[in-house]
Amino acid sequence: MRNQYDPPQDYNEENDDNKMMLPLIEEKVNTLVDKLSEAAEEGKPINIVNLYQGLTLDVIADVAFGVKVDSLNDPYEPFLISCRKMFEFLDPSKLIFLFRLGEFLPELGTSLWRLFQVVMLVITTPQAEILKKLEHVIESRQKAKLMLDAKVDDVNITEDSLVMTTDDDSRQKTNKQLDSPKTSIDKSVDHLTLRATSTYEIKSQSFLFLTAGYETTSTALSYCTYLLAMYPDVQHKLLEEIDHFLPKETKTTYDILRQMSYLHMVLCETLRLYPLASNGMDIPEGVVILADVWSVHHDPDIWGNDQYSFVPERFSKEAIANRHPMAWMPFGLGPRNCVGLRFALLEAKTALAEILRRFSFEKCSETEHQLQLKEVGVIVPRNGVIVKLVPRKFD
């Protein structure tokens, strides 16, 4: 099995298609930096979560669907409102009836999930709103050279519309198709079944990409900002690396980001401390589950008794070599791990590098000493992340 500590190697692959996305990411990151400059000028603390959400939504809408969404400048952008409402809707405290019943009667688990899906279809939910918007996008983007290019045709099966489906194959093979929809199908892989992508699948995949690409990376960036504000020594070391690789006026490139090993370690350590997705309960057959990553990432037998401290050096090559390959798994493991891993890291690194070239994060009286969390599909900071942005001074 591929070593789960390996994102650096994966990420460094020469043929990483994500590098083509960098200009699109940069454009949105520049808008974010402008918004942060306005906030810094006012000198007031800001809750940075909302801005990160604006960034990741604008980026994924553009990259995956070719749709220009400007939620960084418009906090009432309908797409953004629907996405926020959707994750609020997933707050278990608001779904007490369905979710709690599932806990008490686990044998009903699968049926409850089915019931939940039907309820979601029948009543107007934020999910339904987003799906309706995506339907419109799919219709109008049929000819675009994007993920949606997979040619939606439920009746006429053409070579263009074929996707590989695998029951037992590894993620790497399916990844090839998902990462590069234009890649021609490798017909030598004879144990794969070829079939058409249905409209329903395209719609579902679009929904998954939009929601997975939005809340996860913005939350990871929020946690990282919090930790850097709370650990000035770590931030200082990161600023030194950024200044070394990105002196004034230097353009951020994919290769420069690749070389910034401390930035990579900072993000790995952030995702160890706050792995976004986890839970622990008995779940019956057929129900979708995620491993209890949280417990593994905070296990003192693996990380030592300072398991709650932010120590990016845990992700140096030497430290990684001495640890179990499955001790770090914020992106999941095995054949169904996160397909957005490399893209998420590229986006987060670009944002952090560009922000920290200009500002440092400082804790202030509103910054929570112990970050309060809540679960809304992913684990997010309950009250956001409030920090002060301090413009950096250069001689």
Residues at the annotated binding site? 338
Residues contributing to the annotated binding site for heme: 338
Size of the site for ligand HEM (CB under 6 A): 23
Which of these, 55, 44, 48, 72, lies nearest to 390 by C-alpha position?
A: 44
- Minimal distance in Å, beta carbon 273 to ligand HEM? 12
Beta carbons within 10 angstroms of residue 240's beta carbon: 11
Q: x/- site string to ligand HEM, residues 235 to 274, per CB under 6 A?
A: ------------------------------------x---
Tell whether residue 33 is a contact of ligand HEM (CB under 6 A): no
Nearer to ligand HEM, 194 or 212 (CB): 212
Q: SS3 sequence, the chain?
A: CCCCCCHHHHHCCCCCHHHHHHHHHHHHHHHHHHHHHHHHHHCCCEECHHHHHHHHHHHHHHHHHCCCCCCCCCCCCHHHHHHHHHHHHCCHHHCHHHHHHHHHCHHHHHHHHHHHHHHHHHCCCHHHHHHHHHHHHHHHCCCCCCHHHHCCCCCCCCHHHEEEECCCCCHHHHHHHHHCCCCCCCCCCCCCEEEECCHHHHHHHHHHHHHHHHHHHHHHHHHHHHHHHHCHHHHHHHHHHHHHHCCCCCCCCHHHHHHCHHHHHHHHHHHHHCCCCCCCCCCCCCCCCCCCHHHHHCCHHHHCCCCCCCCHHHHCHHHHHCCCCCCCCCCCCHHHCCCCHHHHHHHHHHHHHHHHHHEEEECCCCCCCCCCEEEECEEEECCCCEEEEEECCCC
Structure tokens at 368: 């929570």
Beta carbons within 10 angstroms of residue 145's beta carbon: 10
Nearer to ligand HEM, 244 or 374 (CB): 374
Identify which range of 43-51, 72-80, 91-99, 333-341 contacts ligand HEM by CB under 6 A. Answer: 333-341
Residue in 79, 303, 343, 361 binding ligand HEM, rule: CB under 6 A:
343
Nearer to ligand HEM, 53 or 388 (CB): 53
Tell whether residue 331 is a contact of ligand HEM (CB under 6 A): yes
- Minimal distance in Å, beta carbon 281 to ligand HEM? 16
Residue in 101, 120, 212, 283 binding ligand HEM, rule: CB under 6 A:
212
- Minimal distance in Å, beta carbon 53 to ligand HEM? 13
Residue in 216, 252, 350, 360 binding ligand HEM, rule: CB under 6 A:
216
Tell whether residue 277 is a contact of ligand HEM (CB under 6 A): yes
Tell whether residue 220 is a contact of ligand HEM (CB under 6 A): yes
Tell whether residue 381 is a contact of ligand HEM (CB under 6 A): no
Nearer to ligand HEM, 138 or 338 (CB): 338
Nearer to ligand HEM, 117 or 250 (CB): 117
Q: At what angle do helices 126-140 and 78-89 cross, to 10 degrees?
A: 140
Tell whether residue 18 is a contact of ligand HEM (CB under 6 A): no
Identify which range of 101-109, 127-135, 240-248, 338-346 contacts ligand HEM by CB under 6 A. Answer: 338-346
For the chain, the distance separating the N- and C-terminal CA atoms, rounded to the nearest angstrom, is: 49
Beta carbons within 10 angstroms of residue 392's beta carbon: 13
Nearer to ligand HEM, 61 or 112 (CB): 61
Nearer to ligand HEM, 228 or 271 (CB): 271
Residue in 138, 185, 194, 338 binding ligand HEM, rule: CB under 6 A:
338
Identify which range of 103-111, 155-163, 181-189, 326-334 contacts ligand HEM by CB under 6 A. Answer: 326-334
Q: Which of residues 152-211 bind ligand HEM (CB under 6 A)?
A: 208-209
Tell whether residue 317 is a contact of ligand HEM (CB under 6 A): no
Nearer to ligand HEM, 310 or 388 (CB): 310
| CA–CA separation, 326 and 349 (whole Å) | 23
Tell whether residue 52 is a contact of ligand HEM (CB under 6 A): no
Residues that bind ligand HEM (CB under 6 A): 60, 208-209, 212-213, 216-217, 220, 271, 276-277, 290, 330-333, 336-340, 343-344
